[in-house]
Amino acid sequence: DATDLIRSMKVKKTKIFPKVDFIVFNFPHTGRGMKDMDRNIRDHQLLVLGYFKSSIELFENLEKKNTKTSDLNVMGKEEKEPKIVLSVFEGEPYDSWNIKSLSKTLGLKVERSGKFQWSAFEGYEHKRTNSEQNTTKVASERNAKIYVFEKFKKQQKKKAAEDSDEE
């Protein structure tokens, strides 16, 4: 369940969990075939928001859990900030989900985005959400976009606030 990653990944308070650098959700979909486009869009926005919130909670939980081991800073290597990755098809209704705007409401920003490279996910098969059937369109023939999100850093938040005051 992408909206409850702590439970889904069975992260327990007493267990040391490996460092997680990325959480990836390719082509989120509720599996509902709603005809009402506004309800459909809102339903998927809630799914994406749930994924973002769950990812943030998981990273924060793991950070607290692994603080003692990360304080060792093995061989002087700088810890990387964890990233949240989301892939969606291009076009409607996906464009109307307003992925970037949703991310900002939770203090995330797009670090980078680009064309989804199907070859980077060798063996990936896109299936219908509500069954094991293949989709009606061959996924790799469809245009898709991948987003990599990171948390706004405090300095970035301050600059963003200053920029908005100037407008």
pLDDT (tens digit per residue) in 102-158: 999 999 999 999 999 989 988 877 776 655 555 567 777 889 999 999 987 654 455
Other residues' Cβ atoms within 10 Å of the Cβ of residue 60: 13
The pLDDT value given to residue 76 = 47
Least-confidence region, from 19-23, 36-40, 56-60, 125-129: 125-129
User: 14 - beta bridge partners?
Assistant: none
Other residues' Cβ atoms within 10 Å of the Cβ of residue 100: 13
pLDDT at 28 over 60: yes
* Average pLDDT value over all residues in the chain: 80
Judged by DSSP in three states, 52 sits in: helix
- What is the C-alpha to C-alpha distance for residues 79 and 35, in angstroms, rounded to an integer? 46
pLDDT at 16 over 80: no
The pLDDT value given to residue 140 = 78
pLDDT per residue as tens digits for the range 54-95: 999 988 887 776 655 444 444 445 567 889 999 999 999 999
Q: Mean pLDDT throughout 26-33?
A: 85
Measured CA to CA in angstroms, residue 107 lies from 15, 53, 132, 152, 154 at distances of 28, 10, 35, 6, 10
The pLDDT value given to residue 150 = 93
- What is the C-alpha to C-alpha distance for residues 116 and 143, in angstroms, rounded to an integer? 7
pTM for this predicted structure: 0.78
